[in-house]
Structure 1
Amino acid sequence: MTSTVTPTAGIQTTAESRTGRVLTRLGGIALIASPLLTLGGNLTSPPQPDESSAGYIASLAADPGISAVSAGLYHYGWITLAFGVLAAIGLVRGPRGRAWTAAAAVIAAFGAMQFSGFLLADHYVAALGVLPPDVGAGIFDAANGSIWTQFWLSSAMVTALLGVPLMLAGLARAGVIGWWAAPVYVAVWVVPAFLPAPWGALVAGLASAPLVVVGLRLIQRANLTVPQPVAG
């Protein structure tokens, strides 16, 4: 006798499989888009004459339009990274590396979401350029000197900058990617500091290749044929 529950369960399983494939594919696209958006933010970031607060304000205020474009690209680069690293957890199929990858991905997503919020400040910093330099710098320093601002920035840096390479290491342990991925990604934050701005931005973009590789893995996983349940 055929159960009346089985066809419904089969349809539900198929729907869930399709939804999972769509989310996996979107996660892959997000991981590919994130480095590209960040590279765009690097290339459009206004040059800063010096490391002072007044110099930073002057760099953003010199062309508010391009400063807004740069901030927007950075913002969405972090947002897409947050979605992508969470989707990457699904690439781990066995127990090896699963807990490690999941914990690191959540940490990375938390840091990425915190960083994205900082980009709103760039619009206000650019607006400070209409004030006398000492007044604008005073407001900027007062806002950045807040204990909560410092905690926000510090926690964002620790979680984002550690979470991503740890997630890549977890994926390597699970056999999804090679062990080369984590150290290459770390180069994103180290190498550009020793290069002129345009070259540093390009190196940072190239060093983000591990994220693109993981994104492609997610898209490949989503494109795999999913067996259709048989009702009856």
Structure 2
Amino acid sequence: MTWDEIWPLLQKATGETLLMTGVSSALAGVFGLLVGVLLVLTDRGGLTPLRPLNKVLGVIVNVGRSLPFLILMIALIPFTKLVTGGTSYGNTAMIVPLTIGAIPFYARLVEAALREVDPGVLAAARAMGASRRELVVKVLLREARPGLVSGLTVTVIALVGYTAMAGTVGGGGLGYLAISYGYERFETKVMIATVVVLIVLVQLIQMLGDLVTRRLTHK
């Protein structure tokens, strides 16, 4: 294949990868944050101790993190079909397992970031009469912002890798392009191009995440 033939394929595959990564990152960021906050709040010594709920959430998160993504995709095929109206293939359908796979991953990173917040800051805010909501939103989440952004950066990068893996089951994107052309048709140029694009994407995401984290840290 010539580069004139490869370029349109590469553009299309990159767009599909960005779509899958972007949507699943946004959804995982929202729901992972909620789960992570609940894990901290309901734990012993949290603002709303509720051990039964904490243990259930912990088990669900651990199960989600323990499953390799390829197995998770296969296990979620019936649910994916239910959500997407009957299909489990294509870049849109892959958003479902990508999101479900990333939520527990980010939730644990959120939990770790929140636990790094100085208890003295929370105690001072509570002594000043802050409500529970204010303690969570204006103190806990605010103080943990650098860690939350850093964790989200790691999650997005992991999702880029997951999207490449999704290509093995017809998920589209750069992974599918690398397998269907680079591997099955022995097109070395295609394989090299997809690897370069993936590396560039990861580097850009990491640089952006580091920049935001540094700015939040210095505030």
Structure of higher CA gyration radius: 1
The answer to whether TM tops 0.5 is no
Q: Give the structure-2-normalised TM-score.
A: 0.34
Q: Which has the higher contact order (CA 8 A, sep 6+)?
A: 1
Q: Give the structure-1-normalised TM-score.
A: 0.33
